[in-house]
Amino acid sequence: MLPHWFDPGLFPSQNEPVNLSDSEWKERLTPAEYEVLRSHGTEPPFKNEYFHNEEEGVYLCRGCSNPLFSSAAKFRSSSGWPSFFAPVSQERIGTESDHRLLMERTEVHCARCGGHLGHVFEDGPEPTGLRYCLNSPSLRFIDEEAHRKIAGGREHELDFELHK
């Protein structure tokens, strides 16, 4: 499901865990990113960075650059948040029960850094029937041009730091 140009070898392996202190996370992330990734927050629906994004590319964990979801699995849902029917690999994400809103939901987090991404629901399209409903501040989208810069050692030309 990854674009033909994407080289996962340029990005960290999910087997390289990231364990930072709370103060280190606060230095690495913006307040909005910290609120979602580390405090299990949720961004407002419909008016977020990636809900309308239809470009080809890969969505990385904003906290640790773990490749998580491909645009090939993205679909338009009426939820107001970026939605996907499958991750790049089940090994790149984790799930656990969430009872914070007085109902049972399944939280989705990054397997590498533990960052909160959103929730998964069983009302998605085929082939999985799942809807991974994610928060834009937990993700970083890279297209082919950004990937070429990373592959060429020109990451400094991007408006973000690739966390390895």
Cβ atoms of 18 and 37 closer than 8 Å: no
pLDDT digits (tens, 9 = 90+) for 10-51: 998 878 899 999 999 999 999 999 999 999 999 999 989 999
Question: How deeply is 72 buried, as exposed, middle or buried, from its count of CB atoms within 10 A (0-12, 13-18, 19+)?
Answer: middle
pLDDT digits (tens, 9 = 90+) for 102-153: 678 899 999 999 999 999 999 999 999 999 999 999 999 999 999 999 999 9
Q: Does some domain include residue 15?
A: no
The whole model's pTM is what?
A: 0.94
Specify the number of domains making up the chain. 1
Tokens (6 digits) for 113: 């850094």
Q: Does some domain include residue 6?
A: no
Q: Does some domain include residue 147?
A: yes
For the domain that residue 87 is a member of, what is the CATH number?
2.170.150.20
Q: pLDDT-based confidence at 99, cuts 50/70/90?
A: low
pLDDT digits (tens, 9 = 90+) for 40-66: 999 999 989 999 999 999 999 999 999
Q: Does some domain include residue 89?
A: yes
Q: Which of 81-90, 91-100, 102-111, 154-163 has the highest mean pLDDT?
A: 81-90
Q: Does some domain include residue 74?
A: yes
CA distance 95 to 132: 11
Q: Does some domain include residue 7?
A: no
Q: Does some domain include residue 14?
A: no
Q: Does some domain include residue 26?
A: no
Report CA-CA distances (Å) from 139 to 81, 104, 108.
12, 24, 12
Which residues participate in catalysis according to the annotation?
133
Q: Which domain holds residue 148?
A: 43-157
